[in-house]
Protein backbone atom coordinates (compact mmCIF):
# COMPACT_ATOMS: atom_id res chain seq x y z
CA UNK A 1 0.00 0.00 0.00
CA UNK A 2 1.51 3.33 -0.93
CA UNK A 3 1.57 6.38 1.31
CA UNK A 4 -1.18 8.20 -0.64
CA UNK A 5 -3.71 5.54 0.36
CA UNK A 6 -2.65 5.85 3.98
CA UNK A 7 -3.10 9.63 3.83
CA UNK A 8 -6.57 9.23 2.27
CA UNK A 9 -7.58 6.65 4.89
CA UNK A 10 -6.32 8.87 7.69
CA UNK A 11 -8.12 11.92 6.29
CA UNK A 12 -11.34 9.91 5.94
CA UNK A 13 -11.08 8.70 9.52
CA UNK A 14 -10.51 12.21 10.82
CA UNK A 15 -13.44 13.54 8.76
CA UNK A 16 -15.73 10.79 10.11
CA UNK A 17 -14.65 11.54 13.69
CA UNK A 18 -15.23 15.29 13.27
CA UNK A 19 -18.63 14.72 11.64
CA UNK A 20 -19.72 12.44 14.49
CA UNK A 21 -18.41 14.80 17.16
CA UNK A 22 -19.62 18.13 15.81
CA UNK A 23 -22.51 17.35 13.46
CA UNK A 24 -24.30 14.12 14.26
CA UNK A 25 -24.67 10.38 13.83
CA UNK A 26 -27.19 7.71 12.85
CA UNK A 27 -28.53 5.18 15.32
CA UNK A 28 -31.07 2.35 15.00
CA UNK A 29 -33.85 1.92 17.58
CA UNK A 30 -33.66 -1.56 19.17
CA UNK A 31 -36.49 -1.47 21.70
CA UNK A 32 -40.15 -0.61 22.16
CA UNK A 33 -39.79 1.89 25.02
CA UNK A 34 -40.45 4.91 22.76
CA UNK A 35 -43.34 3.34 20.80
CA UNK A 36 -45.41 4.71 19.04
CA UNK A 37 -43.21 7.80 18.59
CA UNK A 38 -40.31 5.59 17.48
CA UNK A 39 -40.48 1.99 16.29
CA UNK A 40 -37.95 -0.79 16.73
CA UNK A 41 -35.70 -0.94 13.67
CA UNK A 42 -36.22 2.72 12.80
CA UNK A 43 -33.14 4.78 11.85
CA UNK A 44 -32.63 8.13 13.59
CA UNK A 45 -30.35 11.01 12.67
CA UNK A 46 -29.11 12.48 15.91
CA UNK A 47 -27.61 15.97 16.19
CA UNK A 48 -24.57 15.93 18.47
CA UNK A 49 -24.84 17.87 21.71
CA UNK A 50 -21.85 20.11 22.24
CA UNK A 51 -20.87 21.78 25.49
CA UNK A 52 -23.13 24.78 26.01
CA UNK A 53 -25.92 23.71 23.65
CA UNK A 54 -29.31 24.00 25.23
CA UNK A 55 -31.21 20.84 26.11
CA UNK A 56 -34.97 21.31 26.40
CA UNK A 57 -37.86 19.56 28.11
CA UNK A 58 -39.44 17.09 25.71
CA UNK A 59 -36.31 16.55 23.60
CA UNK A 60 -35.84 12.97 22.45
CA UNK A 61 -32.22 12.18 23.16
CA UNK A 62 -29.65 9.44 22.68
CA UNK A 63 -27.96 8.84 26.02
CA UNK A 64 -25.06 6.63 27.04
CA UNK A 65 -26.59 4.71 29.94
CA UNK A 66 -24.00 3.77 32.56
CA UNK A 67 -26.51 1.44 34.17
CA UNK A 68 -27.39 -0.47 31.00
CA UNK A 69 -23.95 -0.17 29.40
CA UNK A 70 -25.42 0.93 26.07
CA UNK A 71 -26.96 3.83 24.19
CA UNK A 72 -30.65 4.38 24.84
CA UNK A 73 -33.25 6.68 23.31
CA UNK A 74 -35.50 8.47 25.82
CA UNK A 75 -37.47 11.69 26.27
CA UNK A 76 -35.98 14.35 28.57
CA UNK A 77 -38.71 15.34 31.01
CA UNK A 78 -36.73 16.71 33.93
CA UNK A 79 -33.84 19.19 34.00
CA UNK A 80 -31.79 20.50 36.94
CA UNK A 81 -34.01 21.90 39.70
CA UNK A 82 -37.24 20.35 38.40
CA UNK A 83 -39.58 18.68 40.88
CA UNK A 84 -41.44 15.78 39.26
CA UNK A 85 -44.42 13.80 40.54
CA UNK A 86 -45.67 10.77 38.62
CA UNK A 87 -48.89 8.95 39.45
CA UNK A 88 -51.92 7.49 37.72
CA UNK A 89 -52.93 11.02 36.70
CA UNK A 90 -49.73 11.49 34.73
CA UNK A 91 -46.62 13.60 35.18
CA UNK A 92 -46.52 16.89 37.09
CA UNK A 93 -43.45 19.11 36.69
CA UNK A 94 -42.97 21.99 39.12
CA UNK A 95 -46.66 21.92 40.03
CA UNK A 96 -47.91 21.90 36.42
CA UNK A 97 -49.71 18.89 34.95
CA UNK A 98 -48.04 17.95 31.65
CA UNK A 99 -50.01 17.10 28.54
CA UNK A 100 -48.28 14.08 27.04
CA UNK A 101 -50.24 12.90 23.97
CA UNK A 102 -47.30 10.68 22.96
CA UNK A 103 -47.58 8.47 26.08
CA UNK A 104 -49.14 5.02 25.75
CA UNK A 105 -49.42 2.37 28.42
CA UNK A 106 -48.62 4.69 31.31
CA UNK A 107 -48.02 1.76 33.65
CA UNK A 108 -48.48 1.90 37.40
CA UNK A 109 -45.18 3.38 38.58
CA UNK A 110 -45.49 6.38 40.86
CA UNK A 111 -42.99 8.53 42.68
CA UNK A 112 -41.53 11.97 43.14
CA UNK A 113 -38.08 13.26 42.27
CA UNK A 114 -36.05 16.47 42.53
CA UNK A 115 -33.56 16.62 39.66
CA UNK A 116 -30.09 17.59 40.95
CA UNK A 117 -27.75 20.07 39.29
CA UNK A 118 -25.96 18.68 36.23
CA UNK A 119 -28.49 15.88 35.68
CA UNK A 120 -31.72 15.08 33.85
CA UNK A 121 -34.69 12.72 34.25
CA UNK A 122 -35.55 10.45 31.31
CA UNK A 123 -38.72 8.54 30.46
CA UNK A 124 -39.84 6.36 27.58
CA UNK A 125 -43.12 7.16 25.82
CA UNK A 126 -44.29 3.54 26.26
CA UNK A 127 -44.03 3.76 30.04
CA UNK A 128 -45.16 0.19 30.76
CA UNK A 129 -42.34 -1.23 28.58
CA UNK A 130 -39.60 1.29 29.36
CA UNK A 131 -36.53 0.91 31.54
CA UNK A 132 -35.84 4.53 32.46
CA UNK A 133 -35.22 6.97 35.32
CA UNK A 134 -38.11 5.50 37.32
CA UNK A 135 -36.47 2.09 37.65
CA UNK A 136 -32.73 2.74 37.32
CA UNK A 137 -30.55 2.56 40.44
CA UNK A 138 -29.38 6.08 39.62
CA UNK A 139 -32.61 7.88 38.73
CA UNK A 140 -30.78 10.87 37.30
CA UNK A 141 -28.55 10.86 34.23
CA UNK A 142 -25.58 13.24 34.01
CA UNK A 143 -26.08 15.84 31.28
CA UNK A 144 -22.66 14.83 29.90
CA UNK A 145 -24.12 11.39 29.08
CA UNK A 146 -26.44 12.96 26.49
CA UNK A 147 -24.83 12.20 23.13
CA UNK A 148 -27.34 13.88 20.87
CA UNK A 149 -30.85 15.08 20.15
CA UNK A 150 -32.99 13.18 17.63
CA UNK A 151 -33.58 15.42 14.60
CA UNK A 152 -34.94 13.12 11.88
CA UNK A 153 -36.50 9.66 11.60
CA UNK A 154 -36.64 7.16 8.79
CA UNK A 155 -38.48 3.82 8.66
Which residues are tagged catalytic? 33, 74
Question: Which of 90, 78, 88 has the alpha carbon at shortest distance from 122?
Answer: 78
With CA atoms as reference, report the closest residue to 52 among 144, 153, 142, 152. Answer: 144
CA distance 66 to 89: 30
The radius of gyration computed from the CA coordinates of the chain, to the nearest angstrom, equals 18
Separation CA 91–CA 132 (nearest Å) = 14
Separation of alpha carbons 115 and 122, rounded Å: 11
Amino acid sequence: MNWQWLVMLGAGGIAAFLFRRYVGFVIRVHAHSMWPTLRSGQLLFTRSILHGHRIRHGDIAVVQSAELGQRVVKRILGLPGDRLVLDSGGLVRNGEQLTEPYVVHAGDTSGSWLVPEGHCFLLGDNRAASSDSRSWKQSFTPLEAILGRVRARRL
